[in-house]
Amino acid sequence: MRNRVLRNLALALAVAFVALTWVGGAVAAVVTTCGTLSASQTYNVTQNLTSAAGSCLIVAANGITINLQGHTITGSGTGAGISDEDTPRDATVVKNGTITGFVDGIHLRVSTRSTVRDVQANNNTQAGINVGDFSLVKNSGAAGNGLVGILVGSRSQVDTSNATGNGNDGILAFNFCLVTNNTANNNDQGIATGGFCTVTYNTANFNSDDGIDVGADTFFDGSKSLVSGNTANGNGDSGIEVACPSDVTNNNATGNGTNYLLFNVPPSTKPCFQKNNN
C-alpha cells in the first residue's frame, strides 16, 4: 500500500510539473505571410516569404525573436525584409535565414540591443544589415548590397561575418565598437569604424579603396582604437588607415596603394603606437 501511494504521488507531481512547464512556457507563433509582429514572443517562419511592395515583417514590440528557420524573405526593391519602421524597439533577435531584394535587408537602425545571427542579407539596394546601438551581428553575411553590407551603431559588435562585393563599405561600425574575425573583400572599402574601437583578426583584401579605415576617411575621429592582427592586402588605396593616437600592432598589409597611413586628428599630435606590422 505504501509503495502504491508513493508511486501515485510521484506520478501526480510529474503531471503537475509537465502542466506547469506547458502553461509557463512561451509558445512560438507561426509566420506564413508578411505582416506586423506585435507581441513580445518568438515567431517561427515556416515558409519562404515574398513582399510585393514595402517591408515584409514589421517589428512592433520589444523582445521579439524572428527565427527564419532557413527560409528566404524576398522583396521588390522597396522597404525592408525586417523593419522597425523607424520606431525604436529593444532586444530584437533575427536568425537563421536569407533576406534579399529590399532597400535594406534588415532595418533596425533606430532600435537598440538587436541581435542578428546566421543571416545572409544579399542584393539589397542600400544596406544588407542595418542595426542600431548596443547590437550584435555574428556568423552572418552581406554580399552585393548597393551601399553597405553590415552597418552597426555605437557600442556594437560584428563578429565572424563576411561582407563581399558591396558598393561602399563592407562593414561600417560607429564608436566604441568591436569588429573581430570578419572577412571584407572586394568592396569599395572593406572595414570602416569610429573611435575607441577594437579591430582585430579581420581580413580585408582587394577592396577598391581602403582595406581597413579606423576613422572612416575622417567621417569619425577614429583615435584611441586598437588595430591588431589584421590582414589587408591588395587594396587600391590604404591597406590600414588609422587615426592617431591608437595602437597598431601585429598587422599584415602588403601590395596596397599605401600599406599604412597613420594620421593625427587635430588638435592631437600624439603618434600611434606601432609594433610588429609588416
> Cα separation of 40 and 163, whole Å?
31
Name the pTM for this structure: 0.90
> Cα separation of 168 and 153, whole Å?
17
Domains of the chain: 82-275 (2.160.20.10)
> Cα separation of 230 and 199, whole Å?
8
Q: What is the pLDDT along the chain (278 residues), one digit of tens a residue?
A: 334 433 343 333 333 322 222 323 468 999 999 999 999 999 999 999 999 999 999 999 999 999 999 999 999 999 999 999 999 999 999 999 999 999 999 999 999 999 999 999 999 999 999 999 999 999 999 999 999 999 999 999 999 999 999 999 999 999 999 999 999 999 999 999 999 999 999 999 999 999 999 998 888 899 999 999 999 999 999 999 999 999 999 999 999 999 999 999 888 889 999 999 99
Burial label, 263 (beta-carbon count in 10 A; 0-12, 13-18, 19+): middle
DSSP 71: -
